[in-house]
Amino acid sequence: AVAPGARLVVGDIGDTSLVGALIRDKGIEAILHFAGSVVVPDSIADPLGYYLNNTSKTRSLIEEAVAGGVRQFIFSSTAAVYGTPPADAPVSETVAPAPVTPYGKSKLMSEWMLQDAAAAHGLSYAILRYFNVAGCDPAGRTGQSTPGATHLLKVACEAAVGRRPHVEVFGTDYPTPDGSCVRDFIHVGDLVAAHRMALMALRRDGGGMTINCGYGHGYSVLEVLDSVQRVSGRKLDVRMGPRRNGDLASVIADTTQIRRKLGFTPALDDLDTIVATSLEWE
């Protein structure tokens, strides 16, 4: 999955000696920080592990960035920092964060550290709060390869091609139109474009920004499964189960800022397109 011309160094962002040496030796000017643990129920079972991997190691990375003179820092955050947003309303960046899970809290603490370090040391930053990232590279070069993945679309596509026996729906009694959770799914290709735009903006204008990354509308779990069946032409074994700890009924992004500050216009905002790229990858 490593692009031609890119250098891969296998290591840990908490390894300050390794990270510091790379920044100095390669003259690194910008860091895009994607590393972290992302499964909400796991964070409830192992909060200290999430605070170590997501928060403590991010602090180490920021420290080395400052020491090495890095000029721009882009951080992958999450809509989970908002906690329980207003029902049926897009959540904007002006909403006071109130995370309800260790995962969301670990990311919010990282946001605070980055903002404070930027103010003290003149670091330009962008905090991109992802909603639900989905889909795979339309050119088929890369896709989600996580072993034992828990993401809905990955699980459903694996089931559609025979790699899983069934798909479980966690909760069917939420206050949504069909009782299943609703999420704002953004195609990974559009998310990549948002990162490029954010880096260009930081290089041009400096400063800092916190921006939602989503489409401003959502689909339910059952709608996603219907799309997978429609696009694949295969019937899934869908089983209804109880709610999972930490799951929210509906989370939709207010996309005013990403459009205004970055000039973001999505190119892949279509559920069947998102599903088709995922199925092609599988």
What token pair was written down for 60?
Answer: 């180490």
Residue with tokens 């930490």: 246
What pLDDT, on a 0 to 100 scale, did the predictor assign at position 260? 97
Chain segment 187-244, per-residue pLDDT in tens: 999 999 999 999 999 999 999 999 999 999 999 999 999 999 999 999 999 999 999 8
pLDDT over 70 percentage in the chain: 99
pLDDT over 80 at 88, yes or no: no
What pLDDT, on a 0 to 100 scale, did the predictor assign at position 212? 98
Measured CA distances, 101 to 108, 192, 213, 233 (Å): 11, 26, 20, 37
Spatial neighbors of 188 by CB under 8 A, at least 6 apart, are 133, 134, 135, 136, 137
Q: Within 10 Å of residue 140's Cβ, how many Cβ atoms?
A: 10
Instruction: Pick the more confident residue, 262 or 40.
Output: 262
In this structure, of 51-55, 61-65, 173-177, the range with the lowest mean pLDDT score is: 173-177
What pLDDT, on a 0 to 100 scale, did the predictor assign at position 226? 98
Instruction: Note whether 210 and 127 are within 8 A (CB).
Output: yes
For CA atoms 279, 131, 114, 57, give the dihedral sign. Answer: negative
Residue 241's SS3 state is: strand
Chain segment 4-32, per-residue pLDDT in tens: 899 999 999 999 999 999 999 999 999 99
Measured CA distances, 179 to 31, 86, 88, 248 (Å): 40, 17, 13, 12
pLDDT over 80 at 246, yes or no: no
Average pLDDT, the chain: 95
What pLDDT, on a 0 to 100 scale, did the predictor assign at position 41? 87
What pLDDT, on a 0 to 100 scale, did the predictor assign at position 161? 96
What pLDDT, on a 0 to 100 scale, did the predictor assign at position 202? 98
pLDDT over 80 at 87, yes or no: no
Name the catalytic one among 51, 103, 174, 219. Answer: 103
What pLDDT, on a 0 to 100 scale, did the predictor assign at position 150? 85
What pLDDT, on a 0 to 100 scale, did the predictor assign at position 256? 97
Spatial neighbors of 168 by CB under 8 A, at least 6 apart, are 238, 239, 240, 241
> What H or E segment, with its residue span, contains residue 119?
helix 102-121
Query: Does 51 qualify as catalytic in the annotation?
Result: no
pLDDT over 90 percentage in the chain: 89
In this structure, of 31-35, 39-43, 102-106, 146-150, the range with the lowest mean pLDDT score is: 146-150
Whose CA is closest to 109, among 36, 41, 39?
36
